[in-house]
Chains A and B, each alone.
Chain A
């Protein structure tokens, strides 16, 4: 057994004193401060004790404790408590005090730093009223604390204040020959100054008052409040339920269509953003809304909630007109063809819709006539639009391509820039081109209807405050909505000069149709109306029904601002969104999936791989649960390793 110490090192005081008090047999070797005695420690740590077994002890308290134990004196719990206090509370303050007194010459400030620990010591001693810390006899706790405090308390130049109990206790120790002996060896009679060369080699202490470097290992306060500790009873209850297995669960009743809201049950109306009909759906669409909604609906039914899950193809709009032109068919024919494709793909993916409809039905037009048109939240205005003279038509949105005025992306579409995501009006595009004939369009005026969002803003905000705080909204949905509101709502143009769309039921606007993003959410209503005549029990019943909207994040503003505003404007007690779940984009090897650009894995390709749909479902769900943006990395390797 060998003890390594260095002169002027206050920690060595403890171990030398302990050695003297216990009379243990041990070699003592004096080394320099920089000596690395303990092989696994980067910074020199002294004192250190080399144990007979070859292990090293580098903690002075542990060394003292060990010396006492081999001498037959075990440490009591109170002893341990003092030693822990010494290491965690006293030492940091002492180190600072010594630094100030020895190196900075700020002896007068030492008192403030040591005030807390010394007061604590004083209180404990006076309460206990015994000569020593743990009772009538000297323990390792006394030796350690005496030695730790010796340099400070024996220096009369430091005005530390009058603490009677501490003084009495300390004097006991100071009078002990063993302590004096140890002090002599370490300090060489030079008092505090004897520690100068040691202190110079130590890193500057961090004052407990001001930490400029945050401790990275401190437990965050949030985790204390955020997570709830599960109690024993809850764990046992869960285990019991698990062991009872499915027999004790309520049977999932066969679904009776039409599903209508029921008294006394939780009624959930679940929608998935309506996929554009104009092409084969790809994996991005599937995870983007239908799959997540499907999993949730299945869960809801198992929980015996009354769930209605509707969706359908969104068929109006310029995208469809484009596609029709490409394939040489009428828009109606395109819609019929692709609706069937969508339907069969979702069936293969086992998406369990209660009803999968389409927006191009009479119900759509009917519902519109009873809408905001009559209640004063619509404004007429003249709009400048791009008109392609060679095609003889007003171009809108997807018929125009140009450079984004905000981020200079050269392939910005006429309604939204794919790169920066900002909504734009086609007239704002730089270097616009007609998608069909590539001619530069001219600007002409046309009369249009606007939804007066600013007028509805207060009502909307009231609703959103309530909904976002009590409902399940994903963080991205809340952020996107907030930034829309922050940017300030402006009147939105809801009509277009097109043939293929819901006709505007207003005599002045006979040649116009509703803008697809305005009429698509109405699609939820008309699809439900096609499912059951009693659709209003779902859609005009906010007190009994909870509306869940599932979508990809680019659809958020339409579902959280535009659509609720149209419903609020109609003033007909419509059910508004309670819970909004937005998924992040699925990337195909780092680029965005795009139907209109033909990039990505499409529905029927998945089926053709021969991999069962459950596997695809699982894979997409696992990937999606990851958080912000996720990439589909294909290649047999990746897939096999995943599963």
Chain B
């Protein structure tokens, strides 16, 4: 999954030559071999590297504060979100919903890498939610729908319907 996300990120960034990734350990942590330097290990690390390579530093935040917020959510994604248990899901979504109450994007008013990776990470949770549950976490749903429609983000993930629509329900799009 991590490799697919990195590949989608490359496409979003418009990086012409896709990189070759390998994995290490039983958690399958992605590794990027580099021609001139040591290998880079870790989903977040590699993602940030790709952003710099594509010369889009604003995706990491345009101030010290927003940079810290971006890193925080990236870390949150790979620690609390990945591998969260069924019991945790409600809390995760509730907290996230409260956080997004007054924000368009995770870092406030700016679209960043944090939005991209939280979207990738939370997709499988959102896909499982019924329409009523999606309406319960209104802010998460609003943010999610916004991000999934962002040009060139979705790639490997199927779109999730958030509106009450008779023809297409849930994930059976």
Chain A residues in the interface with B (C-beta under 8 A): 39-43, 51-53, 55, 57-59, 61-63, 65-66, 69-70, 77-78, 80-81, 83-85, 87-89, 91, 206, 213-219, 223-224, 227, 229, 232, 622, 626-627, 638, 641-642
Contact = CB atoms under 8 A, between A and B. Distances in A.
Contact of A224 (B1, B64, B91): B1
Contacts, number: 122
A61 B71 contact: yes
Given A65-B68, A66-B64, A638-B166, A215 B91 contact: no
Nearest to B17: A232
Interface in B36-72: 38, 40-45, 48-49, 52, 64-65, 67-69, 71-72
Nearest to B2: A219
Given A84-B44, A87-B78, A641-B166, A62 B71 contact: yes
A635 to B, nearest CB: 12
Contact of B85 (A43, A61, A213): A213
Chain A to chain B: the 4 pairs with minimum beta-carbon distance, closest first: A219-B1, A215-B83, A40-B98, A66-B68
A84 B65 CA distance: 19
Interface of B: 1, 4, 7, 18, 27, 29, 38, 40-45, 48-49, 52, 64-65, 67-69, 71-72, 75-76, 78-79, 81-87, 89, 91, 94-95, 98-99, 101, 108, 121, 124-125, 156, 166-167, 172
Given A77-B45, A626-B172, A638-B166, 14 more contacts: A40-B95, A40-B98, A51-B65, A55-B65, A57-B68, A59-B72, A62-B69, A65-B68, A66-B65, A214-B86, A215-B83, A216-B84, A217-B89, A224-B1
Nearest to A1: B65
Contact of B78 (A58, A77, A88): A88
Nearest to A622: B167
A64 to B, nearest CB: 9
A62 B81 CA distance: 17
B81 A217 contact: yes
Contacts of A40: 95, 98-99, 101
A232 B16 CA distance: 10
Contacts of B101: 40
A222 to B, nearest CB: 11
A454 B99 CA distance: 67
A70 B66 CA distance: 12
B166 A61 contact: no
A133 to B, nearest CB: 13
Given A62-B75, A81-B45, A84-B45, A217 B83 contact: yes
Contacts of A61: 71, 75
A223 B1 contact: yes
B42 A85 contact: yes
Given A57-B69, A87-B78, A229-B7, A213 B44 contact: no
A421 B13 CA distance: 56
Contact of A42 (B75, B95, B172): B95
Given A217-B83, A219-B124, A62 B166 contact: no
Contact of A80 (B45, B87, B95, B166): B45
B91 A43 contact: yes
Nearest to B84: A217
Nearest to A627: B172
A206 B83 CA distance: 11
Contacts of A83: 71, 75
B68 A88 contact: no
Given A87-B78, A223-B1, A57 B72 contact: yes
Contacts of B94: 42
Contact of B44 (A42, A80, A223, A232): A80
Contact of B65 (A53, A81, A206, A227): A53
A217 B121 contact: yes
A413 to B, nearest CB: 35
A59 B78 contact: no
B68 A216 contact: no
A642 B65 contact: no
A216 B167 CA distance: 28
15 contacts: A41-B95, A57-B69, A59-B71, A62-B71, A62-B72, A62-B75, A65-B68, A66-B65, A81-B41, A84-B43, A84-B75, A87-B79, A213-B85, A213-B87, A216-B125
A59 B106 CA distance: 15
A440 to B, nearest CB: 50
Contact of A65 (B38, B71, B89): B71
A52 B66 CA distance: 12
B76 A59 contact: yes
B115 to A, nearest CB: 15
A285 B41 CA distance: 58
A89 B69 CA distance: 21
A77 B40 contact: yes
Nearest to A641: B166
A291 B81 CA distance: 45
Contacts of B124: 217, 219
